[in-house]
Amino acid sequence: MVERRAPRWSELRELVRTRPRTGDATDRRLARAVTVGDLREIARRRAPRAVFDYTDGAAGREIGIRRSREAFERVEFRPSVLRDVSVVDPSTTVLGRPSALPLAFAPTGFTRLMHTEGEVAVARVAERVGVPHALSTMGTTSVEALAAAVPGARRWFQLYLWRDREASADLVARAAAAGFEALVLTVDTPVAGPRLRDVRNGFTIPPTLTLRTVANAARHPHWWVDLLTTEPLEFASLRSWGGTAAELADRVFEPAATLADVRELRERWSGSLVVKGVQTADDARAVVDAGADAVVVSNHGGRQLDRAPTPLEELPAVVAAVGDRAEVYLDGGILDGADVVAAVALGARACLVGRAYLYGLMAGGERGVQRVADILAAEIARTLQLLGVPRVADLTPDRVRLRG
C-alpha cells in the first residue's frame, strides 16, 4: 500500500514552469511546430482549402508522391559508433559554389498565393541560410524584382519552354541580365498533370469567388485580407492568363520540346544549366550529352505523371550513368532532414524541397519558411552525428539500405 499525504501547494509551484511569452502569435505558433509535418497541419488550418490543396496535392490518384514518401520510410541507416562527431559540417558545394546545406529551394509557381510575402520571403531565407533558391517561370515575382530584393542570394531561374519561343527566349535574357546564376529547365511538363483536387475545388488562377470559396473564405479571413490589401496576385512573367491552372499550363507549355531545345539553350545561356524532371538513367545521359551541368531526378513531386519512377529508387542508376560528368540532385516527398541525408548518401549532391517550405510559408510567411529551414538543418546535423559521419562529404551509399 502506498501511503498518501495531502498535496503541498508550495511543492507544486516548484514543478510548474511557465515559459516566458516571447514574440507575437505567429512566433508562438511556429515555435510549437517541431517537424515539417507540424507546419503542414498549421498550414492546413490557416490557408483556404483550395490553396492548401493546390500545394499539397499531386496528380491523378496521388500514388507517385505517396511512393516517394514511402521510399524514404524504407530507408534503413547503417551507423558507425564511437566516431568523433562533436563537430559536424553539413555544407557541400553545388554547381561549384559553397552551399551551407545539401539543399535548395525548388521552383514553385504562384507562390504569393500561399502567402503574400511569396518568393521574396523564400529567397530571403535561402540567402540567410546559405542555400540556392529557384524562381519559377510561373512565379508571382519578376526576375528583376527578386534580384533587387535579394541581391545576395544564390538565384536560379526555372524555365518552362513555351509555345511562344520568343517570349521564352526573352525571359532567359532577362534572367541573365538580372544576374541569375543558373537556368533550371523543367522537362517533365509537356502538358499539365491531372490535378484532381484542383478540378474538384474549382481552383482558378487568380482565385475567383464562388459561393463555395466565399463560404470557405469566412474561415480564413486573414488570408483574404492579405490578398485584397497587398500587391495584386498575378504571374510576373506571363502576358495573359485566366482559367484553371491546368488550362493555363496547357496554353503555355510546349509539348513539342526536344533535346534540340536543350542544346540550343546550352548555346544561348552562359551560366550553369540544370535539367529538372529527369526520370531515367537514359534520359539523364541524353541531357548531359546535350550540355546539362546537373540533372534533378524528379517527378515534379508527383504532380505530373502519376506513378512515374520513384526518385530515390532511380537515383543510383542515374548517378552511375552521369555522376562523373554532372551533379545529380533529387526531389519529391522530402519532409525531413534525414531524407536529405539518405539521398545524399545514395549519390545526390543535394536535394530540392518544394512543399516543405511552402507549408512554412502558409503557416507564417517568411518566419515560417525560416522555421522549416531551421528544422531541416537541425535534422540533417543530428542525423549525421547519429550516423557517425561528421561531414556530408563523407556520406557513402553503404550508409543506407532500402528495405523491402
Ligand X SMILES: Cc1cc2nc3c(=O)[nH]c(=O)nc-3n(C[C@H](O)[C@H](O)[C@H](O)COP(=O)(O)O)c2cc1C
Site of interaction with ligand X (CB under 6 A): 54-55, 106-109, 136, 138, 158, 186, 276, 298, 300-301, 303, 331-334, 352-356, 358
Q: Nearest to ligand X by Cβ — which residue?
A: 354
C-alpha cell at 337: 532532414
Of the pair 29, 300, the CB lying nearest ligand X is at: 300
Q: Whose CA is closest to 113, among 159, 40, 56, 52?
A: 52
At residue 122, the 3 state secondary structure works out as helix
373-401 as b/e: b if 16+ CB within 10 A: bebbbebbbebbbebbbbebeebeeebbe
Closest CA to 280 of 328, 325, 324: 328
Give CA torsion, residues 160, 261, 304, 343, to 10 deg.
Answer: -100
* Least CB distance to ligand X at residue 394 (A): 25
Q: How far is the CB of 356 from ligand X (least distance, A)?
A: 6
- Min CB(296)–ligand X separation in Å: 7
Q: Is 320 in contact with 288 (CB distance < 8 Å)?
A: no
Inter-residue contact 343 to 309 (CB < 8 Å): no
- C-beta closer to ligand X: residue 85 or 334: 334
CB nearer to ligand X: pick between 85 and 287? 287
Residue 79 CB, nearest approach to ligand X (Å): 26
Q: Which is nearer to ligand X, 85 or 330 (CB)?
A: 330
Q: Are 358 and 55 in contact (CB under 8 A)?
A: yes
CB nearer to ligand X: give 345 or 352.
Answer: 352
350: phi then psi, degrees, rounded to nearest 5: -160, 170
Q: How far is the CB of 101 from ligand X (least distance, A)?
A: 15
Listed residue (291, 269, 295) closest to 281, CA to CA: 295
DSSP designation for 393: G
Q: Measured between alpha carbons, how far is 286 from 270 in angstroms, rounded to an integer?
A: 20
Provide the 3-class DSSP secondary structure of residue 294. Answer: strand
Beta bridge partners of 353: 105
- CA 192, 193, 197, 199 torsion: positive or negative? positive
Is-catalytic flag, 222?
no
Catalytic residue among 115, 133, 220, 300: 300
Whether the CA torsion 374, 345, 189, 274 is positive or negative: it is positive
Q: Closer CB to ligand X, residue 114 or residue 281?
A: 114
Minimum CB distance to ligand X smaller for 85 or for 310: 310
Q: 52: number of CA atoms within 13 Å, CB side?
A: 18
Tell me, rounded to whole angstroms, the distance of Cα 156 from its chain centroid. 13
Do 112 and 358 contact (CB within 8 A), yes or no? Answer: no
Positions marked catalytic: 300
